[in-house]
Each structure stands twice: as C-alpha cells, then as structure tokens.
Amino acid sequence: MFTGIVQTMGSVAALTPTGAGVRLEIDTEGWVPDRGYRPALGDSIAVSGVCLTLAAIEGGVFGFDVISETLAKTSLGRLERGSRVNLEPAVLPTQPMGGHFVQGHVDGVGAVTAIDADPADWRLTIRPPASMMAWMVAKGSVCIDGVSLTLADRDAETITIALIPTTLEVTTLGSLKVGDTVNLEGDVLVKAIGHTLRAMSASEEPVDMDLLKRAGFGD
C-alpha cells in the first residue's frame, strides 16, 4: 500500500531482457529515505505508480523483475535507458497518510492531450481508457504515474489536473509532453463503491456519474 506521495525520482540505468520480461535497474541518485525506512530485498516499491518487488540492491541502484504482463499493461514497457521515474516505498504505520490509498495496481494507461503551462494555474489534461471514466469523480482522487492528485475537472472523455510548482519540481509530471502516456489508478474506495452498486443493481444499470450522484456521491 502506498500514499501517492513520491519520495524521490530515479533514472533507468539498464533494461535487460529475461525469459519472463525484463530486469529493470533504477539509479536512485543518492536517495536517502526518510522516516526510518531502509530498503531491503523483497520490499514493495512503487515505480511510477506500479508496485514492484525489490529484487536487487547494488549501492544506489535498485533492481526489479518486470514481467511481460506488466510491461504490456503499464507505461513501464515504454521506458528507455535514462528515462525518469517516480519512486515511493510502501507506507509505514508511522507515516502520515498524506495522499490517498494507492495500491500500485495500474488500471490503465492514459494519454496526455493538453498542457496549460500557465505558472499561476498549471493544468494537465489526460484521456483515460473509457472503462475508467466512471471512477473519475470531480474533486476526487486519482494516481498519475504514482502521484496522488485531485481531479480539478472532467468531461465525458478527459480529466484535468491542476498542479502546484512543488509537484512539477519533485516528480516526473513536470517533464510531460502532449502525447506522452501515464499510468493511472482510480481511487480504490470509488472502485469498491462502484462494484457494490453494480452488484446491488438488479437492472444491471451501468455504474456512471448519474448513478453515483443518486447514491449520494459526487456533486
């Protein structure tokens, strides 16, 4: 379990094909974890929003085994040597819950469709897969490349996020360009509500914003 509060950025040092996928090596660039965390083999680390198991530690380089399924269904399959990634270790009981509940289980890959880089109101617009739009609730939470964010707005096909300068500086979101892809994870609480409502709906009514509003959620 994660919070979506990125602790540091790293860069891809190597991508080595294996029988099941790739060995991904990430240079953590001198990262000194805070709040008493000490990386150990077997730990869960969110790499740009994808929960991976720490398989090797060599100095400041972390190694992860990424299977073909993960490469195909997340943006990790598009990484190259030198690519930047967001890193967050699993949340500890002693840590404040600064973001929201993030599982590291990517629901889909979205595409950046617009960037408004106004310093006073920096906005990022993303087109998620259509199957995720029911979970995109205005003023609700979404995880984008491992970063916990609040939806500023949405329409039928896209979501818009307002980003503060600190987020742009300490995560990879500040280097995104139109056409780039990002890992998306919907709020697990919204997904659980949707699953429950779907199970309770005798008419098999689709779970959409109208149904959520009638159930008392959203605006």
pLDDT in tens, 152-166: 999 999 999 999 999
Which residue type is seen at 177? K
Same-domain status, 117 and 78:
no
Percent of the chain exceeding pLDDT 70 equals 91
pLDDT the model gives residue 201:
67
Same-domain status, 76 and 117:
no
pLDDT the model gives residue 219:
59
Q: Does residue 203 lie in a domain region?
A: yes
Contact 137, 218 (CB under 8 A): yes
Same-domain status, 24 and 121:
no
Q: Is the pLDDT of residue 146 over 90?
A: yes
Domain count, the chain: 2
Same-domain status, 65 and 131:
no
Nearest alpha carbon to residue 38 among 16, 54, 23: 54
pLDDT the model gives residue 141:
93
Q: Does residue 94 lie in a domain region?
A: no
Confidence grade of residue 111 (pLDDT, cut at 50, 70, 90)? very high
Residues of the domain holding 194: 108-214
Nearest alpha carbon to residue 83 among 13, 144, 18, 147: 13
Query: Side-chain half-sphere of 18: how many Cα atoms within 13 Å?
Result: 15
Q: Does residue 219 lie in a domain region?
A: no
Q: Does residue 99 lie in a domain region?
A: no
94-113: average pLDDT: 90
Q: Does residue 96 lie in a domain region?
A: no
CATH number, position 78: 2.40.30.20
Q: Write the pLDDT tens digit of every residue in 164-194.
A: 999 999 999 999 999 999 999 998 888 877 7
Same-domain status, 123 and 210:
yes
Same-domain status, 151 and 70:
no
Tell me which of 71-85, 88-102, 130-144, 173-187 is least confident.
Answer: 88-102
Confidence grade of residue 92 (pLDDT, cut at 50, 70, 90)? confident
Same-domain status, 59 and 18:
yes
